[in-house]
A and B are shown apart, each in its own frame.
Chain A
């Protein structure tokens, strides 16, 4: 990975397996996370992402493999001696302590005197925007405030790695967006490595330097958000991140013949499974197709079809269009600009596309 080559590795995993009874929750996880990186573990529930995070924290012991944190092998090192701190999904705010005592909880073994500790707590609270909240009862806080307390409590110990277990899942949409932006700002400010577990692909794309997509205990793809979206390594990843339409095609050499689109030349980079003559599925993102009235711009190709469904989202509209010669529809997204192209249900429309935006996947068996 280009990005990590420049960064000093802070988390290294080699062949990590985790077995619960007879179930393999993690299967041969290899990864390297750089210092100061914002890294996300993304996947559906049950894919092992939380187990992986808890393995780094020291709450789970891997059944096989090596975990190295900050250059030190973590085998036999308990959670309380690891250079990591965690923000729990429930935030795990201690209900019997006030906000300041929660934030200062981990400073007990700190050699500084009480006054310096109190100052550190005040600074940590200020950093998360809760200055002056120290004497409040921890149980009287809102969801967003609890998350801030959990962040301050972890960051005050200056960990090498901050682990975040689905920290936004309990917040409503608006608050979640605010906290995402704030978390990103905080991470840049403190420069600590953040590892975020999430099932929300949008959240992972917005926040991360790099994302590992996990399915069934394995890392399916590990890449920066842009690469993940534009060059998904498999159909599974493509479908999990954003939306993708699929059309059947025939491959011969470096050319594909796609139902509804026609013949097009493709680069090897567009075929993560390799280009093999014969059956294939072509994937295309909704925004890579546009409705047009006139002839396409140079380099663009043109196909025709019929609108079978329109979904209006305010700023955007999504059209299901069955192209001539295709059996299933493709989805086209269009910005609803004043004077822009729009269509009604049943209209015959022209669709423009670019050969470089096609992805070639092995056919669904």
Chain B
């Protein structure tokens, strides 16, 4: 009974703010306070008429897609190597790759900034892509590791035995079987990059990403309802993408008929 109350309280504290987001996004008033003033969709209508915001969405999209692609491609390489080969220092290398998962993001952001400046690079979308790829990689590797270790090693050998080259057997057998993992990795990396603030804040150039832009808008109380509207869209699309990713991963498990753990339960 006590446990149930605790869980309930926990959920309320965790998710009530998110419920407030759509509540005020549809509220017909510039002040974020109860009582609600009435229903409106004008904050949503205002969204596309703010050029800086549209620009930041575009920047975020470019960065998220690039980071997702990069971290998934690198993740495929790393996961395949870890599932197929034994080499000295394998555990150390893999542990090192997974490090961003536990390091405070602010540390990563500051150290990346130092490195980027030391290299004499301009702060652009490119530097944000590099930073985001770094923090997305552990997730991609974790997902793809599951896909690869659920894969019977003799499947690729069987394809080679039946006349395929190493490359074409990867395409005809391995790729279709790990495709759900790839989709899951792309979606999760995309979501992480889209939501990420600290690294983007440190490494972004003249074109801020969406979260960075939003943070800037918070100084103007009149803009708050628009931010709420945007936040609502972001939350919805994040949930949607994560559900899609999990669905893809489970389909992969069902297909190979084996449990691969995964990390979303």
A interface, CB within 8 angstroms of B: 57, 59, 78-80, 84-86, 88-90, 92, 94-96, 105-106, 108-109, 139, 153-154, 157
How far is B158's CA from A154's CA once the two chains are assembled, in angstroms? 9
11 A-B contact pairs sorted by A residue (CB < 8 Å): A78-B160, A79-B160, A80-B162, A80-B163, A80-B165, A88-B157, A88-B158, A94-B158, A96-B177, A108-B164, A154-B162
Q: Which residues of the other chain, B, contact A106 by a CB distance below 8 angstroms? A: 162-163
Apart from the given pairs A84-B161, A154-B161, 15 other A-B contacts in the complex at a CB distance below 8 Å: A59-B157, A80-B162, A86-B161, A88-B158, A92-B152, A92-B157, A94-B159, A94-B173, A105-B172, A106-B162, A106-B163, A108-B163, A139-B257, A153-B162, A154-B162
From A88, A95, A96, A105, B154 is in contact (CB under 8 Å) with A88
A94 near B155 with CB under 8 A, answer: yes
Which residue on chain B has the smallest CB distance to residue A139?
Answer: B257
Which residue on chain B has the smallest CB distance to residue A156?
Answer: B162
Kindly supply a per-residue 1/0 record for chain B positions 168-184, scoring 1 wherever the CB is within 8 Å of any chain A CB and 0 otherwise: 00001100110000000
A292 → B minimal CB distance (Å) = 54
A105 near B157 with CB under 8 A, answer: no
Q: At the interface, is chain B mostly helix, strand, loop or mixed? A: helix
A12 → B minimal CB distance (Å) = 21
Q: Which residues of the other chain, B, contact A84 by a CB distance below 8 angstroms? A: 161
B256 within 8 A of A: yes
Q: Which residues of the other chain, B, contact A88 by a CB distance below 8 angstroms? A: 154, 157-158
B255 within 8 A of A: yes
Q: Which residues of the other chain, B, contact A89 by a CB distance below 8 angstroms? A: 154
Q: Which residues of the other chain, B, contact A109 by a CB distance below 8 angstroms? A: 163
B interface, CB within 8 angstroms of A: 152, 154-155, 157-165, 172-173, 176-177, 255-257
From A86, A96, A108, A139, B158 is in contact (CB under 8 Å) with A86
B152 near A80 with CB under 8 A, answer: no
Inter-chain contact count A-B, CB under 8 Å? 59
From A78, A90, A95, A157, B162 is in contact (CB under 8 Å) with A157
How far is B162's CA from A354's CA once the two chains are assembled, in angstroms? 53
B176 near A105 with CB under 8 A, answer: no
A85 near B162 with CB under 8 A, answer: yes
B216 → A minimal CB distance (Å) = 48
Which residue on chain A has the smallest CB distance to residue B258?
Answer: A95
A92 near B164 with CB under 8 A, answer: no
A115 → B minimal CB distance (Å) = 21
Q: Which residues of the other chain, A, contact B152 by a CB distance below 8 angstroms? A: 90, 92
Q: Which residues of the other chain, A, contact B157 by a CB distance below 8 angstroms? A: 59, 79, 86, 88, 92
| With known contacts A80-B165, A139-B257, A92–B160 Cβ distance under 8 A | no
How far is B154's CA from A80's CA once the two chains are assembled, in angstroms? 14
Q: Which residues of the other chain, B, contact A80 by a CB distance below 8 angstroms? A: 160-165
B162 near A96 with CB under 8 A, answer: no
Q: Which residues of the other chain, A, contact B161 by a CB distance below 8 angstroms? A: 57, 59, 79-80, 84-86, 154
How far is B163's CA from A57's CA once the two chains are assembled, in angstroms? 12
Which residue on chain B has the smallest CB distance to residue A105?
Answer: B162
How far is B32's CA from A20's CA once the two chains are assembled, in angstroms? 70
B260 → A minimal CB distance (Å) = 13
A52 → B minimal CB distance (Å) = 16
B11 → A minimal CB distance (Å) = 38
From B155, B172, B256, A92 is in contact (CB under 8 Å) with B155
How far is B162's CA from A109's CA once the two chains are assembled, in angstroms? 10
A58 → B minimal CB distance (Å) = 8
How far is B161's CA from A190's CA once the two chains are assembled, in angstroms? 20
How far is B154's CA from A154's CA once the two chains are assembled, in angstroms? 14
